[in-house]
């Protein structure tokens, strides 16, 4: 993923400005993920069985992946639009984000 304030093509990335609804959705997902982490921690502290904890950890992993994919999709739209505005085809942006996706997998 691209850290806040990172630059691509010389311009600061601002997914929030380009797609505020999607960013709010991602932030809601992250809030739920925080709750999942607290719940898993509580399960471990209370001595829940390992299998139950692992099931919750698998759900957590899936939730994080979905949030990351949502962010990646937002960023793809921002970068492709920028590249097209600058006279490109969007192919370079798509290739860069495909690399990000593959690193995430």
CATH number assigned to the domain comprising residue 37: 1.20.58.1000
How many structural domains are present in the chain? 1
Task: Supply the pLDDT for residue 87.
Answer: 92
For residue 1, give every residue at least 6 positions away whose Cβ sits within 8 Å of its Cβ, in sequence order, or none: 68, 71, 72, 100, 104
Q: Tell me the pLDDT band of 40, cut-offs 50, 70 and 90.
A: very high
9 occurs within a structural domain = no
What's the rounded Cα separation, in Å, for the pair 17 and 78?
10
Model confidence pTM above 0.95 = no
Domain that holds residue 70: 16-104
Quote the percentage of the chain above a pLDDT of 70.
Answer: 86
> What does the pLDDT look like over 21-39, one tens digit per residue?
988 999 999 999 999 999 9
What's the rounded Cα separation, in Å, for the pair 100 and 68?
10
8 occurs within a structural domain = no
């Amino acid at each position: 993923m691209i850290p806040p304030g990172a630059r691509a093509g010389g311009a600061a990335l601002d997914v929030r400005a380009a797609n505020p609804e999607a960013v709010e959705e991602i932030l809601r997902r992250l809030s739920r993920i925080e709750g999942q982490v607290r719940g898993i921690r509580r399960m471990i502290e209370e001595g829940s069985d390992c299998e139950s904890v692992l099931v919750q950890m698998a759900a957590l992993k899936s939730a994080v992946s979905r949030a990351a994919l949502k962010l990646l999709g937002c960023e793809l739209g921002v970068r492709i639009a920028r590249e097209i505005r600058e006279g490109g085809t969007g192919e370079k942006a798509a290739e860069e984000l495909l690399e990000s996706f593959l690193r995430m997998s």
